[in-house]
Structures are given as C-alpha cells and as structure tokens.
C-alpha cells in the first residue's frame, strides 16, 4: 500500500524576503546612493521585527549594494569615480584570467548550471525583471570564476565584484525603460556567447568574448553614470594590450 502523498511547502527565510524587497528598492532608485537604511524605519514599514531587517542589511552589504559605517549604521553604497574605474579595471584582469583557466577546468555539471542561469534570464526584458536579472548576472559571473578552480582568485574576484556599481547601471535602465529591452537582450547574448566558448573549451575565444562583454559595461559606465571617458579609456589602454598579448602567446 502506497504511503499518502505529502506536499512540502518551502518558504524563503524572512531575511531573504526582506533582502529582495530592499534590493528591488535600490535598483528602482527608491533609495539614493549614500542614503541611510534605518532598521527601525524598515521594520515599521514592513511590519516585522528588527532581527530579519538587520540580517537583510548584512546581506545587502555582502552583495555590495550597501556599506556598514561603524557606530552609524548601513547606507546605500556611493562609490567614487576612481573606485568605479579601479573596480572596472580589476574586473578586466581577474575575469579574463579566470575564464581562461575555466575553459580548461570547467565540468559538464558546471556548464549545465551556467546554461540553466541563461535559461532563467532569457526572457527578462521588463522593469519588474531588473532586480532578478542583476542577481542572475552575478550568479553567472561568479559561477564562471568558480570554474577556474582557483580559490584565491575567487576570493579576490568577490571583493572586486562587490565594488562594481552594476546596481547603478540597472537603476539607470529602470529610469530609462526605452533602453531596457535592447540592453538586457545584448547582455543575454554576450553571456550566451561566453558560455558557448567555455562549453567548447576554447580559452582564447572565451577571453575575447569576456573582454567584449566587459568593455561594453565600460561604455555603460560612461553613458549611464557619467564616468569620464578619458579615465575609462586610460585603464583600457594599459590593460587590453596585455590581455591581447596574453591570449595570443
């Protein structure tokens, strides 16, 4: 006799639900860069205790959207122009190195994971999708670096990724919905091309496609965030020739 079928309902921890609410508000520009995120105000707004709010703020800090100031609290991150440009330069160096190694080391299971992330992001082209798309994009990039099989590089990359203002780029798209569909479609295609090169174990091609993807983000830093073009291009002129020589050596 078959045992009665049981259905298990799984819920996210409350801290994760609060994190998603705050994450969405930041992407939508409801919290400005540098704005303080007050635990008591958020707790009152959401009708919950302060404990999950405090835990959610810790998650925001870990995700690079906020910073904790000793004895003051947590506020939305407001990186300086120099910090943004330095983070962009480090992403070029670290991700190119990581993806080169990943093309040799990546496993079928890791490729399958990347393809599942792509499937989830394929249809994202609406304002309500922006917050989720940021999470998926970060998950994909982090999974690629993980496939490099270099634990130290992974740690360095997470530090750099948490200083890159991707949420500010998405927030710009939220305020300019006419750009949304094209931007997110291009991002999906670039991600798909990178994963295809990894699946084919083609390190040089994977690096080339990663550079294209990241330099497109560099153009967005200029256009969307007003980062001076000369600063972005200066970093690129110092880094890209080295990377091009590296992949052809």
pLDDT tens digits for 98-157?
A: 999 999 999 999 999 999 999 999 887 788 888 888 889 999 999 999 999 999 999 999
Cα 221 to the center of its chain, rounded Å: 14
CB distance 48 to 14 below 8 Å: yes
- Please name the helix (run of DSSP H) or strand (run of DSSP E) that holds residue 73, with its range, or none: strand 73-76
* Spatial separation of the C-alpha atoms in residues 73 and 67, rounded to whole Å: 8
How far apart CA 141 and CA 13 sit, in angstroms, is: 25
Q: Could you name the CATH architecture of 14-76?
A: Orthogonal Bundle (1.10)
pLDDT in tens, the chain (249 residues): 444 444 444 578 899 999 999 998 988 888 988 999 999 999 999 999 999 999 999 999 988 889 999 999 999 988 999 999 999 999 999 999 999 999 999 999 999 999 999 999 988 778 888 888 888 999 999 999 999 999 999 999 988 988 899 989 998 998 999 999 899 999 999 999 999 999 999 999 999 999 999 999 999 999 999 999 999 999 999 999 988 887 776
Q: Where are the domains of the chain?
A: 14-76, 81-248
For the chain, the first-to-last Cα distance in angstroms comes to 67
Question: Taking the model in full, what pTM does it have?
Answer: 0.84
The answer to whether 233 touches 89, Cβ cutoff 8 Å, is: no
Hey, which residues does 36 pair with through a beta bridge? 75
Which of 92, 93, 65 lies closest to 79 in space, CA to CA? 65
Decide: 173 and 186 in contact? Cβ < 8 Å: no
Q: Does domain 81-248 have CATH number 1.20.120.530?
A: yes
């Amino acid at each position: 006799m078959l045992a009665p079928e049981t259905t298990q309902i799984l819920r996210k921890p409350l801290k994760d639900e609060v994190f998603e609410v705050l994450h969405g508000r930041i992407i939508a520009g409801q919290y400005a860069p540098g704005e303080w995120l007050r635990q008591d105000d958020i707790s009152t707004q959401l009708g919950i205790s302060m404990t999950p709010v405090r835990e959610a703020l810790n998650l925001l800090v870990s995700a690079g959207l906020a910073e904790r100031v000793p004895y003051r609290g947590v506020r939305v991150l407001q990186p300086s122009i120099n910090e943004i440009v330095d983070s962009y330069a480090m992403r070029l160096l670290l991700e190119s190195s990581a993806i080169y190694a990943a093309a040799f080391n990546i496993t079928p299971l890791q490729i399958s994971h990347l393809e599942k992330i792509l499937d989830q992001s394929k249809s994202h082209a609406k304002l309500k999708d922006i917050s989720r798309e940021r999470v998926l994009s970060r998950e994909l990039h982090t999974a690629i670096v993980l496939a490099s099989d270099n634990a130290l590089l992974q740690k360095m990359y997470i530090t750099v990724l948490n200083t890159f203002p991707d949420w500010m780029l998405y927030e710009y798209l939220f305020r300019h919905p006419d750009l949304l569909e094209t931007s997110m479609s291009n991002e999906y295609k670039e991600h798909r091309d990178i994963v295809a090169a990894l699946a084919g174990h083609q390190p040089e091609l994977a690096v080339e496609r990663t550079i294209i993807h990241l330099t497109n983000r560099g153009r967005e830093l200029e256009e969307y965030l007003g980062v001076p073009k000369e600063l972005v291009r200066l970093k690129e002129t110092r880094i890209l020739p080295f990377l091009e020589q590296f992949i052809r050596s």
